Each structure stands twice: as structure tokens, then as C-alpha cells.
Chain A
Amino acid sequence: MNEPSFDLASMPGCFDGVIPPLIATCSAEGVPNATNLSQLHYVDASHVALSNQFFSKTTANLADNPRASVLVTDSETGNTYRLSLHFERSETSGALFEELRASIDAIAAMMGATEIFKLRAADVYRVLDCEHLTGPKIEP
């Protein structure tokens, strides 16, 4: 497999949840869906994960069409990126699930919404592309 042309590990400010990311999916009928996220999670050099809490429409869309688009801003640099994603799997147990659940529980406690914020699954996506948008351009 080719090495990805992007370096997710060099963008920690994209994964701290300071600036809420957003995800776009699309139904088989061509109707898009835009939803705000609490946080994007780094998995490895070519994968990210999202906490699935209320994503009924997103989940339904991904069942028919695995493509997704995420917009995320690095809170440390102000750089914004658009990630092209391919949904791979949902995890409902294991280390990644527990990591995301701890994060969601922390956010819920901070917002006084522990009854509302319940993690259903850790959704794992392969990153197909990472496009740099606004913010100070940093040349490799």
C-alpha cells in the first residue's frame, strides 16, 4: 500500500475538539447530510474515528454510501482541512471504543448532559485525501 501523502500525526490540534468539526454524508438518492461533531479522533496514519452518538441519518447514509467528507480546524495553527473519508467499520467494544467513551463522558459531564451523550459506537474511517484549505500555509 502506498504511503499517504498527508501526515495526520502532525496535526494534533485537529483532534482536540476545540473547534467543532463537521461531517457530510450522502444518501443513495443524492440527498446530503451535514452534522456537527464534538471531536475527531486520530487512529493511525491513515485512519480517523468519530464518536457515533446521535448519527441516525449519518449512519443510514453510510450503510448505503460509505463516502464522507469532514472539515476540521487545527486549533493550534488555524489551518483548516477537508478530509475525504471512506467508512470502514463500527466498533462497540475494545480500546478505541473505551477511549472515545471516556472523551464523550468528559464532554457530557462538562455540559451537564450525561443522560443525552451516550456513545453508540466508534466509527472508523480510512482517510483518502487531506486537502489544506484556509489558514497559514505551512510548506513541507
Chain B
Amino acid sequence: MDLAAFIESGVGMVGASAGDDLVPEAFRLWGVSWDPDGHLRALISSDATRTLATVKPGAWLSLTFVDMTMRSVQVKGRAVSGPELPNRADVEVMRRYRTDMVAAFATRGVPSLLLDAIRPLAVFALTVAVEELYNQTPGPKAGARFGEHQ
């Protein structure tokens, strides 16, 4: 699967982190991009306060992408660094993602007003070194590993 193309097609993006206490936190993503080193830069809702407070370099993260046909991919990887403020390129990624997402959800009758109500006031960025890819599409192959990344 061409993950880069898939995740740029307006798919739903969700994720999870966990602190040293093993308490997980679910969060939504509002865009991702690949950096020059092949790492995934994820833009995470600022309401993910546990993630913001606890993720440090080396911490595991789970990011799941699903399209309107329920085709789904899960990425697991480790944080390269701690949370960062979004830069100008991130803002453009968010803007593009919002446009693509509104178009994708409109095919299911979900109004843009509802999506805008869900959007956070701010995001932070986490850079993730992808280590594992899993097929999450519902069905008998759900949970199967795609193979080593890169």
C-alpha cells in the first residue's frame, strides 16, 4: 500500500499514547506529513494533554488512518523528540487536511459545520520514527503486519 498517498486522501486520523503509568490517551490528528528523514510528523489536538505532558523521545505511539470504505492502516513507532509547536508548513498541512477531510466526509452526508466543531483550537507536532505497519481493515486480515517499514 502507498501509505503516503493513502494518508493524504482525507482519511480519518486517530492515535494513542501512554505514559509510564500505562494509562492510554486517545486523540485525533489533524494532518500528517513526511519529513526529509522519512519520519512521520503528526499534528495532534492540543486537548491531548496527557500526551503533551508525557511523550518523550523513544515513547511508543500508535496512529491509525481509515478512509470512507473502512480501509485502515495502523502505524506504530517511537517519538523522535518531544512535542513541538507547529511551524508554517504544519499549518499548511492542517489547512489541506481540513479541505480533503470535509470533501471526504461530505460523501457520507457529514456537514462541514460538524467537522469544524470537532476541530481543536490548536495542535502540537510529534515526529515519529515508523517501525511497524498493520492492516486494520475490518475482516480476516485485520491486525496483520504489512512488513518492515523502509
Contact = CB atoms under 8 A, between A and B. Distances in A.
Given A31-B76, A135-B118, A70 B26 contact: yes
Interface residues of A, number: 41
Interface string B111-125: 001100111110000
Interface of B: 12, 14-18, 20, 22-28, 45, 47, 59-64, 66, 70, 72, 74, 76, 110, 113-114, 117-121, 136, 138-140, 142-143
A32 B24 contact: yes
Interface in A60-115: 65, 67-71, 73, 75, 78-80, 82, 84, 111, 113
Interface of A: 18-20, 22-26, 28, 30-36, 53-54, 56-57, 65, 67-71, 73, 75, 78-80, 82, 84, 111, 113, 116-117, 133-136
Contact of B64 (A36, A54, A78): A36
B62 A19 contact: no
A140 B135 CA distance: 42
A79 B63 CA distance: 23
A118 to B, nearest CB: 10
A2 B85 CA distance: 40
B120 A134 contact: yes
A79 to B, nearest CB: 8
B22 A36 contact: no
Contact of B118 (A26, A56, A80, A113): A80
A32 B61 contact: yes
A36 B14 contact: yes
A23 to B, nearest CB: 6
Q: Which of A28, A31, A136 has the most CB of B within 10 A?
A: A31
